[in-house]
A = this chain, B = another copy of it.
Amino acid sequence: MTRRLKMIIAYDGAPFAGWQSQPHGNTIQDHLERAFERVTGTPVRVHGAGRTDAGVHALAQCAHVDVNKALAPARWMEALNALLPAAIRVLRCRYVSDDFHARLSAKGKIYRYRIWSAPVLPPFEYRRAWHIPHPLDLKILLKAAKHFVGTHDFAAFAGNRGKPERSTIRTINSVRVRQNGSCVTIEFDGDGFLYKMVRLIVGSLLKCALGIMRVEDLVARLDSGRATPPRLVAPAEGLVLVRVRY
């Protein structure tokens, strides 16, 4: 008899090769599965709400796992955190019904991208923000960002993961741009995101904010539905999965 456990997990993506299991074993999923195996004595499969790439961080990734051990949720949290690297933390655990699925039940996700716009990147922002040592035109960035809100074919802003996506149509509910000192954050709330979609959108927004791409060209690219080079992919280290909505 197994029970389904739902977890909320935070991680600093810098030391890991992303979420998805790999032969070398240094992914978030690998670390979680090893921790579970040490507690339960049997191999388990951890299902995440989505794969974050190498270097991408999470404030509240969600995952589920079927466990054969009837520990209280708080005990699970303690046991897992005692076995996991300090850069991966289980923040909450609870038992859910068997029809909950971390990925399939997800209604949407919130991603945040952090840009540090100043001549020098402070040591504490290293690997946590994209350092842009040139001045940004925030008004242009804001204007450009609005065009992504709504339901679009985002093929022009999707990476190639090897196999084609069933559909490249997604809905972005909101794009919020905020500035706090040298830190500019761009937050995307959407029903789902294609491979590298946020980083490709941020790359194009940055080009506009730096004056090396016109907003009209960005809109034409979005409307084209085609991945035409050259495309600027914002680095993974500035990206944070903030929350999964259910």
How far apart are the CA atoms of A90 and B124 in the complex, in Å?
Answer: 13
For chain A residues 87-139, which have a beta carbon within 8 Å of chain B? 87-91, 120-124, 126-128
Verify B120–A81 contact, CB threshold 8 A: yes
Say yes or no: is A212 at the interface (Cβ < 8 Å to chain B): no
How far apart are the CA atoms of A127 and B123 in the complex, in Å?
Answer: 13
Nearest CB in chain B: distance from A81 CB, A? 6
Verify B12–A86 contact, CB threshold 8 A: no
Say yes or no: is A76 at the interface (Cβ < 8 Å to chain B): no
Nearest CB in chain B: distance from A211 CB, A? 23
* Nearest CB in chain B to that of A9: its residue: B123
Say yes or no: is A83 at the interface (Cβ < 8 Å to chain B): no
Say yes or no: is A77 at the interface (Cβ < 8 Å to chain B): yes
Say yes or no: is A46 at the interface (Cβ < 8 Å to chain B): no
Number of interface residues of A (CB under 8 A): 20
Q: Copy number of this protein in the oligomer?
A: 2
Say yes or no: is A157 at the interface (Cβ < 8 Å to chain B): no
For A57, list chain B residues within 8 Å (CB): 123-124
How far apart are the CA atoms of A120 and B57 in the complex, in Å?
Answer: 17
For A127, list chain B residues within 8 Å (CB): 86
Verify A126–B87 contact, CB threshold 8 A: yes
Say yes or no: is A202 at the interface (Cβ < 8 Å to chain B): no
Q: A12-B126, A126-B12 given as contacts; is B121 within 8 A of A86 (CB)? A: yes
Verify B124–A128 contact, CB threshold 8 A: yes
For A90, list chain B residues within 8 Å (CB): 120
Verify B77–A123 contact, CB threshold 8 A: no
Say yes or no: is A11 at the interface (Cβ < 8 Å to chain B): yes
Q: List 14 A-B contacts (CB under 8 A).
A: A10-B122, A10-B124, A11-B123, A12-B124, A12-B126, A57-B123, A86-B121, A87-B123, A88-B123, A89-B122, A89-B123, A90-B120, A91-B120, A91-B122
Q: What are the nearest 3 A-B pairs in CB distance?
A: A12-B123, A86-B126, A87-B123
